Amino acid sequence: MNLLFFMFVSGMISFILNRKHLLLMLLSLEFIVISLYLNMFMYLMSMNYEMFFSMIFLTVSVCEGVLGLSILIMMVRVHGNDYILTFSSLW
């Protein structure tokens, strides 16, 4: 259980520290999703519950990953890089 919490916290720290590149942020988000999935899987296994919710969680996380990759591809095609600061219209 401590390992899963450490995975979640390290994913959050890497997400906060790598806020300049979209690709590194997406990788950190996927690491957080994997740690949450493992935590949920361990909880459901210990309580002898159904695993149906874990399939829904995996489906939503795959959709989130595909959406992030499509934003990354659009950003690279339009701006030529994956810097967050060039994507913002406020700068």
Q: For the domain that residue 48 is a member of, what is the CATH number?
A: 1.10.287.3510
Candidates 84, 76, 63; CA nearest to 15 is 84
Domain that holds residue 66: 2-87
Mean pLDDT of 29-54: 91
The answer to whether 18 and 28 are in contact (CB under 8 A) is yes
**d(Cα 82, Cα 73) in Å, to the nearest integer?**
9
Residue given tokens 């995975």 in the structure block: 7
Mean pLDDT of 49-71: 90
Residue given tokens 């994913």 in the structure block: 11
Take residue 52 and report the two structure tokens written for it: 């149906």
Mean of pLDDT over the chain:
87
Q: Is the pLDDT of residue 91 over 80?
A: no
Take residue 12 and report the two structure tokens written for it: 């959050």
Of the chain, the percentage scoring pLDDT greater than 70 comes to 92
Domains in the chain: how many in total? 1
